[in-house]
Amino acid sequence: MIHDRYGAVNESETSGVANGNRVNEAVSLENDFPVVCVGGSAGGLDAYIRLLQNLPANLGVAIVIVNHITKMPTMLHEVLPTYTTMPVELITESLQMKPNRVFIIPANRDLHVTDGQFHLKPISKPHGWPDVITVFLRSLTEHWDGKLIAVIVSGYDGDGADALCGIKEVGGITIAQKLDTAIQPDMPETAIASGCIDFVLSPENIAQKLVRIARNEVL
C-alpha cells in the first residue's frame, strides 16, 4: 500500500502503481536480449561480411551496424542479406528493436534508442568526421537494460572510442577488430588506445565470441 503525504492510504494510487509496474516489467522482459553495436566505416563492409557469415541466425541478439556514411545513401541493407539468413532492415523512425535481426543505420542520421525503439535525428556533427557510433553507444548505455556489446571494426578516425568506457561501466563488453585483419585500422586502433577494450579479435573470432556471450558461456 502507498500512503499519501499525510499518511492516508491511497488505494487508487496503489492500483495504478501496481499496473504501471506490470507494464514496466513486461517492457523490461521484452527488451531483455543482447544488443551488438558494430561500428565501422572505410573497409567496414569486409568486416561486416566476415562477421555475419559466421553468426548463427537464431543467436537471440540484435545486430546494429552503425556505419558512418555521410556522402551518399547506404546500400548495406541490400548487400548484406547475401551473407546472412537473418532479416536485414534499414532503420526507420520508431522501428522496434528485435533479436535475430540485423539493423542498418541510414546515412546522415544520429541513432538513439528508447523503450526498445529506434529514433533518428539529424546528424549532430555534419562536418568533419561524424560521431554517430559514439552517439548510439551512449544512448544504449542510458536506455537499454539488456546485455550490451560494442564492436569496433575497420574505419577511419576514432568514432566510438569515447563511449567504450561507458559501455564497460554498465557491465557491457567491448571488442575491437585485430589491426592486421582490418582494411583501415585507424578506428579499432583508437578504440584499443582508449584502454577500454576487452578483446582484440579477427571478424571470424568476434563472431565466435558473440556466440559465447549470447549463450552465457565462460569467456
Report if residue 180 sits inside a domain: yes
Report if residue 123 sits inside a domain: yes
**Cα–Cα distance, 97 to 159 (Å, whole number):** 23
Q: What is the CATH number of the domain that holds 149?
A: 3.40.50.180
Q: Between the CA of residue 147 and those of 46, 61, 67, 102, 193, what are the distances in Å?
A: 26, 9, 21, 16, 24
| pLDDT (mean) for 78-89 | 97
pLDDT tens digits along 135-180? 999 999 999 999 999 999 999 999 999 999 999 999 999 999 999 9
Q: Between the CA of residue 112 and those of 8, 26, 43, 95, 137, what are the distances in Å?
A: 42, 21, 24, 11, 8
Report if residue 161 sits inside a domain: yes
> Which uninterrupted H or E stretch holds 150?
strand 148-152
Report if residue 160 sits inside a domain: yes
Judge contact between 124 and 110, C-beta under 8 A: yes
Judge contact between 44 and 153, C-beta under 8 A: yes
- Tell me which residue of 36, 31, 20 sits closest to 145, measured CA to CA: 31
Report if residue 118 sits inside a domain: yes
Report if residue 4 sits inside a domain: no
Of 69-78, 114-123, 167-176, the least confident: 69-78
Domain ranges, residue 148: 33-214
**Cα–Cα distance, 116 to 61 (Å, whole number):** 13
Helix ranges (H only) for the chain are 11-30, 44-52, 76-79, 132-143, 161-169, 186-193, 203-214
Task: Answer yes or no: is pLDDT of 3 > 70.
Answer: no
Q: How many domains does the chain have?
A: 1
Q: Would you state the cell numbers that stand for residue 30, as one nine-digit string?
A: 521484452
Which residues are the active-site residues? 41, 68, 159
Spatial strand order of the sheet with 88-90 comes to 88-90, 101-104, 62-67, 35-40, 148-152, 173-177, 199-201
Report if residue 12 sits inside a domain: no
pLDDT tens digits along 179-215? 999 999 999 999 999 999 999 999 999 999 999 999 9
- Tell me which residue of 63, 105, 113, 109 sits closest to 87, measured CA to CA: 63
Report if residue 197 sits inside a domain: yes
pTM as predicted: 0.86
